[in-house]
Amino acid sequence: MLLIDCPFCGKRTESEFAYGGPALAPRPDPAALTDAEWVDWLTVPPNPLGWVEERWWHARGCGAWLTLRRHTVTHEIAEVRHGR
Protein backbone atom coordinates (compact mmCIF):
# COMPACT_ATOMS: atom_id res chain seq x y z
CA MET A 1 0.00 0.00 0.00
CA LEU A 2 1.63 3.17 -1.23
CA LEU A 3 2.14 6.27 0.86
CA ILE A 4 1.43 9.18 -1.44
CA ASP A 5 2.58 12.67 -0.55
CA CYS A 6 -0.32 14.77 -1.81
CA PRO A 7 0.88 18.35 -2.39
CA PHE A 8 -2.29 19.59 -0.68
CA CYS A 9 -2.86 17.04 2.11
CA GLY A 10 0.53 15.56 2.96
CA LYS A 11 1.31 11.85 3.22
CA ARG A 12 -1.81 9.74 2.82
CA THR A 13 -2.31 6.03 2.39
CA GLU A 14 -3.15 4.53 -0.98
CA SER A 15 -6.69 3.59 0.02
CA GLU A 16 -7.62 7.29 -0.13
CA PHE A 17 -6.68 7.38 -3.80
CA ALA A 18 -8.01 5.97 -7.05
CA TYR A 19 -5.59 4.89 -9.74
CA GLY A 20 -6.16 6.81 -12.95
CA GLY A 21 -4.01 4.97 -15.45
CA PRO A 22 -0.71 5.78 -17.09
CA ALA A 23 0.09 9.41 -17.81
CA LEU A 24 -0.54 9.85 -21.51
CA ALA A 25 1.01 12.67 -23.45
CA PRO A 26 -1.18 15.78 -23.60
CA ARG A 27 -4.33 15.14 -25.59
CA PRO A 28 -3.40 16.05 -29.14
CA ASP A 29 -5.58 17.83 -31.64
CA PRO A 30 -7.27 14.79 -33.19
CA ALA A 31 -7.61 16.53 -36.53
CA ALA A 32 -3.86 16.97 -36.79
CA LEU A 33 -3.03 13.28 -36.43
CA THR A 34 -3.05 10.30 -38.75
CA ASP A 35 -5.10 7.29 -37.69
CA ALA A 36 -1.95 5.47 -36.66
CA GLU A 37 -0.72 8.39 -34.57
CA TRP A 38 -4.09 8.67 -32.87
CA VAL A 39 -4.17 4.95 -32.00
CA ASP A 40 -0.61 5.15 -30.80
CA TRP A 41 -1.36 8.03 -28.46
CA LEU A 42 -4.49 6.38 -27.14
CA THR A 43 -3.50 2.77 -26.69
CA VAL A 44 0.25 2.41 -26.34
CA PRO A 45 1.27 3.84 -22.98
CA PRO A 46 4.78 2.97 -21.85
CA ASN A 47 5.03 0.01 -19.48
CA PRO A 48 8.67 -0.21 -18.44
CA LEU A 49 10.34 -2.10 -15.64
CA GLY A 50 11.39 1.08 -13.90
CA TRP A 51 10.11 4.62 -13.70
CA VAL A 52 6.59 5.38 -14.90
CA GLU A 53 4.39 8.42 -14.77
CA GLU A 54 0.82 7.77 -13.78
CA ARG A 55 -2.27 9.56 -12.58
CA TRP A 56 -3.82 9.16 -9.16
CA TRP A 57 -6.96 10.83 -7.88
CA HIS A 58 -7.14 11.85 -4.25
CA ALA A 59 -10.74 10.72 -4.26
CA ARG A 60 -11.18 10.46 -0.49
CA GLY A 61 -9.09 13.53 0.20
CA CYS A 62 -8.89 16.86 -1.56
CA GLY A 63 -10.08 15.63 -4.96
CA ALA A 64 -6.90 16.60 -6.76
CA TRP A 65 -5.71 14.69 -9.80
CA LEU A 66 -2.03 14.04 -9.33
CA THR A 67 0.78 12.84 -11.52
CA LEU A 68 3.24 10.48 -9.84
CA ARG A 69 6.66 9.31 -10.89
CA ARG A 70 6.76 5.76 -9.48
CA HIS A 71 9.27 2.96 -9.83
CA THR A 72 7.45 -0.21 -10.82
CA VAL A 73 9.95 -2.47 -9.07
CA THR A 74 10.58 -0.70 -5.77
CA HIS A 75 7.44 1.46 -5.73
CA GLU A 76 9.59 4.41 -4.83
CA ILE A 77 7.76 7.63 -5.62
CA ALA A 78 10.13 10.30 -6.85
CA GLU A 79 7.67 13.08 -7.53
CA VAL A 80 4.05 14.01 -6.93
CA ARG A 81 2.58 17.01 -8.66
CA HIS A 82 -0.85 18.44 -9.32
CA GLY A 83 -2.26 18.06 -12.80
CA ARG A 84 -0.20 16.82 -15.68
Partner 1 sequence: MAGDRLPSRGRIDRSRPLRFRFDGRDYTGFHGDTLASALLANGVRITARSFKYHRARGIIGAGVEEPATLVELEGDAASGNRIATTVPLVEGLSARAVHAWPSARFDLGAVNQLIARLIPAGFYYKTFKWPDWHLFEPAIRRAAGLGAVPPAFDDSYETRHAHADLLIAGAGPAGLMAALVAGRAGARVLLMDEGIEAGGSLLAHKAAIGGRDALDWVAGAVAELAAMPNVTHLQDATAWAYREHNLLMVHERAPRADGLRGRGWRVRARQVLVATGAIERIIGFDGNDRPGVMLASAVQAHLNRWAVRPGRRAVVFTNNDSAYTVAADMAAAGIAVAAIVDSRASVPGTARAQVRGIEVLPGHLVTQTHGARGLRAVSVTAGGRSWRIPCDLLAVSGGWTPSVHLWSQSRSSLRWDDALSAFVPDRPAQAVTAAGAAAGATGLGQALRQGAEAACAALGLPAPEVPQAEDAPYAIEPLWTVPGAGAKAFVDIQNDVTVADLELALREGYGAIEHVKRYTTGGMAMDQGKTGNLTIVGAVAERLGLTPPEIGTTTYRPPYTPVDFGAVAGQQAGPVVLPYRHTPLTAWHKAQGAVMYEAGARWRRPGYYPREGESFQQTVDREARTVRQGVGVYDGAPLGKYLLRGADAGRFLDLVYTRPMSGLRPGQGRYALMLTEDGLIFDDGVCFRLDEGRFLVSTSTGNADAVGQALEKLLQVERLDWDVTITNITGQWGNATLCGPLARDVLRAAGTDIDLSGQAFPFMAIRDGSVAGLRARVARVSFTGELSFEINVRPRDLPALWQAVLEAGAAQGIAPIGSEANHVLRVEKGFLSLGHEVDGTADPYDLGMGWAMAKGPADFIGKRSVLLRRSSDRPRRELVGFRPVDPERQVPEGAPLTPQGRKEATEGFVTACVRSVVEDRWLGLALLMDGRARIGQTAHVRLPEGAVAVTLCEPVFHDPSGERLRS
Binding mask 44-83 for partner 1 (x = CB under 8 A): -----------x-x-x---xxx-x-----xxx-x----xx
Asked if residue 1 binds partner 1 (CB under 8 A), the reply is yes
Whole-number Å distance between alpha carbons of 53 and 78:
10
How crowded is residue 19: how many other Cβ atoms within 10 Å of its Cβ? Answer: 12
Which DSSP helix (H) or strand (E) runs through 7?
none
Which of 22, 30, 46, 50 is the binder for partner 1 (CB under 8 A)? 30
Range 32-51, binding partner 1 (CB under 8 A): 33, 35, 38-39, 42-43
